[in-house]
A and B are shown apart, each in its own frame.
Chain A
């Protein structure tokens, strides 16, 4: 049968039921991913201390070219991977988001070190963003302060494994394989403090509510630790059962802690396949109900 590749990459291309998990698509995904993972060019872009370890990783002793992270490109237009290597400050997050928007898809973000992951030791500082993922979707987090070159390499391999797991068949894994084209991330604005345009309404509401009383600006109840841990356990347990369409964040893999991220790669893929199937079933049933109503 004819397979129009162009069409395959279109959004909202419904994979026919008889093609689901068909050998053609599977191997096509593999081919895609193989090409992609082995030519992952990082952006030549260092923020802080971790950048030095990143350079050490690029240098002859650890040499990430061995994995196809061949050259670092200074322009975002030629880069596939943004290694956020260091503390992200409020002042710097503006250019970073702009750079990310300029990178062509498919694009990945690797948060290197504690600072880029979650603010790190400087988290409490007034000019520090508590984690790159507050603004951009992050694919892999590499803990450490700073991660040694080998830890970074491990994270990069983890990213490759993640790419391996992406599939054309499950059209909504990543924007560039499926459903929707990615919208550019709104660039934050430097006002009296940094302003995420996505939160504009919220800031307005809060400002109105506060109306002169700064202390009331912003304390809310938080989940206590026990709840957090419970939430984690629950998340593990319900990962498979969760069949409702979920946000992009929630789609990230839920792993049992401690193991290598890809150790259960097969398992995860299976889970995701199940979830995708569930989603599909849900969609189909919705379509059916709509049809019935009509």
Chain B
């Protein structure tokens, strides 16, 4: 990392985003131009000067945190690929958006990994899905698909095997909707399509060796697999994708010296279910239930980030009303409840990983069930809540959480909603947190296992774009609810949980503190709900349209979700009337980017600690792989 080159760095640090852009345009007049497309913001940087400009953005202007880096394919609208970067200051404030464009045929952009290590996985993803080469990237391999897959699927002209139409709704569903299973239309009866130049002779055996060979960083498979020079002191250990501690289908390949980890390489994509490709076919509304399935532990938070992004876009239009107060209060309540669910789950399974097998999990899952009951009664589903809408919600709180007997042996329940909530928030959840603390916080075994293990320093945490409890456990008091506030968080009274040590225990303490802060927020929400009783939950007083048209532009909506910063980058390429489908729909997934520092956190620890470190990051694979 280079030292800042400019003297009046302090003052520049304090500039507003507009001033920062003006500074960039003055300093790099030949390389930086304003992005003046309708509804767009930020600057476009000549790709040959990108590294210099990025360094200035980080060092001179103090935008030290690269939140998101993603690619957009503007096929038919300029015919170029574009990398979009969102940089923030960890001291708070808005984003500096900068972009670099490249030709579609010879797509190449200099890598920003030397500036922000957090760009590592995101650039690999852009290579994998969009086919942009990053000059200077240390390990430019496919990340979500496997090495050898044909094509770069997120390009607009790449079609999957089950391609039907560019955009939903598909025409053949109505009025002449003769049902069929789409695989019946494929000659192989499966979701496959092969390139014409398929060479079957070379395929027969090599999938697994290819995986090992593609691992890159630090794993010298050739040397280790060399029989003659066989050394026992360094081994390659594969964990996953089927492994009880990887929280799903995640895979790590470690080299160990004795029992000490010398390098670690996360391998992912085993749950890559093409959110973004499907998301670009979907209409804006269609995407809401799909966001549920990203971080499936806390779907309410996912909904929130997405509706915020789309509402940002909608606010560019002429007719836009912000959500009502009651709607915002309900959103915050739901999000905080799901944060509690998320943290209970995370702590429980982290304990599973470090040896407290299932007792804490069972206790916490019991509490989770109560909250899920509430979600089920209000939103209709335990996990996939699908509760938020653009400018509103699925529905107001029901008067009673009531069930009706339908199947044989059904036992009904009937609670007053507000009473249920009050009891949960004032009694049950705080009691659970107390129990959790009594069970764990001073537990000597837990302390021995977690103190000083998996340390991530403050500088690394920022440079690697860590988010959420991982970032705050390393002493960075960065919480989007305070740093870049949204919804009604500014008027709510709560503190940012932060710990300085940067180890597993610090992350645990941050989570516990956040549980308490969430309860504190919920206690403030209850009177607000009572005060707004009867107010409409819809911005326009009526439910939103089923196919809203969204004005031309880009938006990056982000929320502080349980696992960290969840961002949605949505591009609408609509004409005059706006578009019904997003042109680009990208998810900045905290679980994905938080894995970038996994390697440096694990180095020097034992294999058993690696499991715990992964648990303390708290990933969920639906979001990691998307």
Contact = CB atoms under 8 A, between A and B. Distances in A.
Nearest to A228: B179
B416 interface: no
A130 B187 contact: no
Interface in A77-92: 86-87, 89-92
B274 interface: yes
A222 B273 contact: no
B486 interface: no
B242 A48 contact: no
B533 interface: no
A59 B200 contact: no
Interface string B175-199: 0001111111111111111111010
A203 B271 CA distance: 26
Secondary structure class of chain B's binding surface, majority of residues: loop
A225 B149 CA distance: 34
A55 interface: yes
Interface residues of B, number: 71
B203 A128 contact: no
Contacts of B148: 190-192
A48 B292 CA distance: 12
Contacts of A90: 191
A134 interface: yes
B154 to A, nearest CB: 10
A220 B193 contact: no
Interface string A204-229: 10110011111001111011111010
A52 B196 contact: no
Interface residues of A, number: 72
A74 interface: yes
B180 A49 contact: no
B273 A128 contact: yes
A124 B278 contact: yes
Contact of B297 (A52, A124, A228): A52
A130 B293 contact: no
A2 interface: no
A164 interface: no
B191 A49 contact: no
Contacts of B145: 91, 127
A45 interface: yes
Contacts of B195: 192, 214
Interface stretch (A21-29, A194-202, A279-287): A194-202
B41 interface: no
Interface stretch (A31-39, A115-123, A165-173, A266-274): A115-123
A119 B468 CA distance: 32
Given A60-B365, A204-B200, A217 B193 contact: yes
Contact of B161 (A89, A94, A126, A223): A126
Contacts of A87: 271, 273
Given A47-B249, A61-B366, A218-B188, A95 B290 contact: no
A73 to B, nearest CB: 9
A127 B274 contact: yes
Given A47-B248, A192-B194, A218-B193, A91 B188 contact: no
B434 interface: no
A42 B149 CA distance: 33
B187 A123 contact: no
Interface string A107-143: 0000000010011011111111110001000000000
Contact of A125 (B149, B160, B178, B181): B160
A96 B269 CA distance: 14
A86 B271 contact: yes
A193 B194 contact: yes
B281 to A, nearest CB: 7
B439 interface: no
Given A59-B362, A207-B194, A146 B383 contact: yes
Nearest to A206: B187
A190 B193 CA distance: 12
B277 A59 contact: no
Q: Which of A61, A196, A206 has the most chain B CB atoms inside 10 A of its CB?
A: A61
Nearest to B145: A127
A122 B293 CA distance: 10
Nearest to B195: A192
B365 A207 contact: no
Contacts of B181: 118, 130
A68 interface: no
B617 interface: no
A197 B148 CA distance: 17
Contact of B200 (A92, A94, A99, A203): A203
Contacts of B281: 124
Scoring A51, A94, A123, A193 by chain B CB atoms within 10 A of each residue's CB, the highest score goes to A193
Contacts of A44: 244
A89 B365 contact: no
Contacts of A207: 194, 196, 198, 200
B204 A189 contact: yes
Contact of A48 (B180, B271, B362, B368): B271
A130 B182 contact: yes
Given A94-B207, A124-B281, A217-B196, A48 B622 contact: yes
Contacts of B366: 59-61
Contacts of B193: 193, 214, 217-218
A159 B599 CA distance: 43
B274 A52 contact: no
B28 interface: no
Interface in B241-300: 241-244, 248-249, 269-274, 277-278, 281, 289-290, 293, 296-297
A125 to B, nearest CB: 3
Given A214-B195, A217-B196, A228-B179, A189 B270 contact: no
Interface in A55-72: 55-56, 59-61
Nearest to A148: B382
A193 B149 contact: yes
Given A91-B146, A218-B193, A199 B271 contact: no
A124 B149 CA distance: 17
A214 B196 CA distance: 6
Contacts of A194: 190, 192
A105 to B, nearest CB: 19
Interface string B328-368: 00000000000000000000000000000000011001101
In the A-B complex, list the 3 residue pairs whose CB atoms are closest, starting with the nearest: A125-B274, A218-B187, A126-B160
13 contacts: A47-B249, A48-B271, A59-B361, A59-B362, A61-B365, A121-B293, A128-B273, A129-B190, A134-B183, A207-B196, A214-B195, A223-B184, A224-B178
Given A61-B366, A124-B160, A191-B194, 4 more contacts: A123-B162, A128-B274, A130-B190, A193-B193
Interface of A: 44-49, 51-53, 55-56, 59-61, 74, 86-87, 89-92, 94-96, 99, 115, 118-119, 121-130, 134, 145-146, 148, 189-196, 199-200, 202-204, 206-207, 210-214, 217-220, 222-226, 228
